[in-house]
């Protein structure tokens, strides 16, 4: 079981932040047993909070399945 994922996304800019937040939000941490996700550079969730944990667990699972498949 994968417990930690590090995600590095480039380049900077609003489109980057929006897309990165969408991808990270799609991770279903509870289903996959993930306990820690590191994102570089740090992102702000669409709600403006510094943590995207609530966004991650609240949205879809497709990206998590693809990401964990390569882990």
Give the three-class secondary structure for 7: strand
Mean pLDDT on 44-52: 45
The DSSP annotation for 17-70 comes to HHHHHHHHHT--HHHHT--EEEEES----TTS-S--HHHHHHS-SHHHHHHHHH
Mean pLDDT on 26-47: 53
Mean pLDDT on 54-66: 45
User: What pLDDT is recorded for position 12?
Assistant: 58
pTM of the model: 0.28
- The domain segmentation of the chain, as residue ranges, is 4-70
């Amino acid at each position: 079981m994968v417990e930690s994922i590090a995600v590095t996304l480039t380049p900077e800019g609003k489109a980057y932040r929006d897309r990165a937040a969408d991808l990270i939000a799609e991770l279903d941490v509870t289903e996959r047993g993930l306990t820690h996700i590191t994102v570089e550079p740090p992102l702000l969730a669409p709600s403006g909070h510094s943590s995207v944990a609530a966004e991650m667990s609240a949205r879809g699972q497709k990206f998590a399945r693809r990401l964990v498949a390569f882990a």
